Amino acid sequence: MKRTFRGGVVFPAALRDKKETALASSFLPILPKQLHLSLRQRNTELEPTVAVGDTIRIGEPLAVDPTGTIPPLHCGISGTVTAIERSLATLDGIPATVITVTNDGSHTFGSLLPPLPENASRDALIQRMYDAGLVGMGGAGFPTHRKYQTDTVRHLLINACECEPYLAGDVRLCIEQADTLTEGIRLFAAAAGIPLREAVFCTESPAAAARLSGLGVRTVLLRGRYPQGSERQLIAAVFGREIPGGCFPADCGFLVSNSATAIAMAEAAHGLPLTHRSVTVSGEVARPVNLLAPIGTPISDLIELAAPLVSGRRCRYIAGGPMTGTRIATLAAGLPKTCGGITVLPAHRTKESACIRCGGCVRVCPAGLMPFRIEAAYLAGERDDTATACISCGCCSYVCPAKRNLAAHIGKARSEMRQRS
Ligand code: SF4
Ligand code: SF4
């Protein structure tokens, strides 16, 4: 059955074609000479467990959070730790401690975690999420072990919507690793304390849905619409349930996990910590590519493989897709666990004009807000509490004929409100 949610946008055929082109690209190998791993994870600085000069092998830990809140960071290549220093070479340009590992080319594995038994307990599965360094790989990076520490879950949604333009690595991974994904979904259901029949694989890709069919997991094929990959919109599309403002999905019995995280869980159960991730390099490039890259691979190495068309012209590099992604401050930064795409776009400035009250932003807002009114309040220095319900999807800015930077202004209004409260 094809379902959807309220609001949102359907992208034009040209953008959908670019996604299909990216989806057709099987994963290319990448062997970076160095990794640059930022220790800042969700505003917490991890502490290094290695020193400069140490030898390190694939799967070994590089840094931990002494409070146990953020899971450890592991190494995806074998080689030597050549630097641990405060650096501006981070995705957002904010200084952080960065570990540099130089590849010895031998691709040697360290001693991995012991494999989990078939019938591992919930506690053992949740502990493994932590030990293997699992975080939500869809973008938010919330620690997976904390997400599953709840007894209120009745339904598990495995999110393979990847609804941003250009990006296709997660869906490609589902197609190529369907058996591993199925195993990960089974483990997630067990960790959530629910039967496998309450888990649903959700995708907009007929190819991914077809690949999963017959593997014992309920699959829902959704009509392509942005931002279907957002938790609340996905729950609305699949179950017809609106999560009330101020509640988390888990409060209403729902848990949403990204499909790439489920695959990482299956690998973790076999002893492999999270060291690599899928990433699509696309946008205005000659050849969109999907890569399975070690965490910490320099962004410049990733872009090189996609042969940018816009070289010679000024371009913007976005971590993620063009709707919710953030500008990359330097191409020397390493790939974080949370980044599933690098989008290369021509640099251009659009000039805002006055709102013409067309109502377009209201029609597309999946959160049911009045973006033009919230923006006007923000620019006038007034407070509009409805801004707190904004999910930063960018639909309002995308459709605005006056090219108003609505999502950015509303995002600022929301952060200012959070800081004051
Ligand atoms: S106001 Fe927020 S939720 Fe609504 S369309 Fe704009 S960015 Fe999306
Ligand atoms: S879409 Fe743009 S022009 Fe139309 S009402 Fe919203 S802010 Fe105004």
Going by CA atoms, what residue is nearest to atom 6 of ligand 1?
Answer: 396
In one-letter notation, the amino acid at residue 247 is C
Whether 117 has a pLDDT exceeding 70, the answer reads yes
68: left (phi over 0), alpha (psi -120 to 50) or beta: left
* Cα–Cα distance list, 233 to 19, 103, 204, 256 (Å): 21, 42, 13, 11
CATH 2.40.50 residue window(s) in the chain: 34-103
Sheet-wide strand order for 96-103: 34-38, 96-103, 79-87, 55-56
- Cα gap 243→235, rounded to integer Å: 8
pLDDT of residue 307: 74
**Residue corresponding to tokens 């101020």:** 246
**Residue corresponding to tokens 């999270």:** 274
365 ligand 1 Cβ < 6 A: yes
Whether 407 has a pLDDT exceeding 60, the answer reads yes
Whether 303 has a pLDDT exceeding 50, the answer reads yes
Say how many Å lie between the CA of residue 244 and the centre of ligand 1: 16
Residue 415: both structure tokens together: 């952060």
- Cα dihedral angle (32, 38, 42, 43), rounded to 10 degrees? -170
Helical packing angle, 178-192 and 169-176, nearest 10°: 100
Query: Long-range CB contacts (< 8 A, 24+ apart) of 29-32?
Result: 29/292, 30/291, 30/292, 30/293, 30/294, 30/297, 30/301, 30/302, 30/305, 31/77, 31/103, 31/105, 32/77, 32/103, 32/293, 32/294, 32/296, 32/297, 32/298, 32/301
Average pLDDT for 100-129: 96
Cβ burial of 43 (10 Å; 0-12, 13-18, 19+) is exposed
Tens-digit pLDDT profile for residues 47-64: 999 999 999 999 999 999
Whether 10 has a pLDDT exceeding 60, the answer reads yes
CATH 3.40.50.11540 residue window(s) in the chain: 1-29+110-348
Average pLDDT for the chain? 93
pLDDT of residue 417: 80
Whether 336 has a pLDDT exceeding 70, the answer reads yes
pLDDT of residue 392: 93
**Residue corresponding to tokens 């995002």:** 411
Whether 315 has a pLDDT exceeding 90, the answer reads no
pLDDT band with cut points at 50, 70 and 90 for residue 349:
confident
pLDDT of residue 81: 98
pLDDT of residue 3: 62
Going by CA atoms, what residue is nearest to atom 8 of ligand 2?
Answer: 355
Cβ burial of 110 (10 Å; 0-12, 13-18, 19+) is middle
The pTM assigned to this predicted structure is 0.94
Tens-digit pLDDT profile for residues 239-287: 999 888 888 899 999 999 999 999 999 999 999 999 999 999 999 888 8
125 ligand 1 Cβ < 6 A: no
CA 30 and chain centroid, separation: 20
Tens-digit pLDDT profile for residues 382-401: 989 999 999 999 999 999 99
Ligand nearest to the CA of 387: 1
pLDDT of residue 421: 66
Going by CA atoms, what residue is nearest to atom 4 of ligand 1?
Answer: 365
Whether 197 has a pLDDT exceeding 50, the answer reads yes
State the sign of the Cα–Cα–Cα–Cα dihedral 350, 352, 356, 360: positive
Provide CATH code, domain 1-29+110-348. Answer: 3.40.50.11540
- For residue 374, what are the β-bridge partners? none
Cβ burial of 229 (10 Å; 0-12, 13-18, 19+) is buried
Helix ranges (DSSP H) in 205-324 = 206-212, 231-239, 259-269, 299-304
Whether 45 has a pLDDT exceeding 80, the answer reads yes
pLDDT of residue 310: 60
Residues with CB under 6 A from ligand 2: 355-361, 371-372, 399-402, 404, 406
Q: What residues have CB less than 8 Å from 310, skipping those under 6 apart?
A: 284, 285, 344, 345, 346
Ligand 1 atom closest to the CA of 394, numbered from 1? 7
Ligand nearest to the CA of 357: 2
Which residue has better confidence, 108 or 421? 108
Say how many Å lie between the CA of residue 266 and the centre of ligand 1: 35
The Cβ of residue 398 has, within 10 Å, a number of other Cβ atoms equal to 18
Tens-digit pLDDT profile for residues 121-176: 999 999 999 999 999 998 788 999 999 999 999 999 999 999 999 999 999 999 99
- Cα gap 284→315, rounded to integer Å: 9
For 117-205, list the strands marked E by DSSP.
155-160, 199-203
Tens-digit pLDDT profile for residues 66-79: 999 999 999 999 99
Average pLDDT for 295-316: 83
pLDDT of residue 285: 87
Whether 6 has a pLDDT exceeding 60, the answer reads yes
Whether 1 has a pLDDT exceeding 60, the answer reads no
Say how many Å lie between the CA of residue 11 and the centre of ligand 2: 18
pLDDT of residue 284: 83
Whether 220 has a pLDDT exceeding 70, the answer reads yes
User: For domain 34-103, which CATH number applies: 2.40.50, 3.30.200, 1.20.5, 2.60.40?
Assistant: 2.40.50
Strands 254-258 and 40-41, sheet pairing: unpaired
Average pLDDT for 204-221: 94
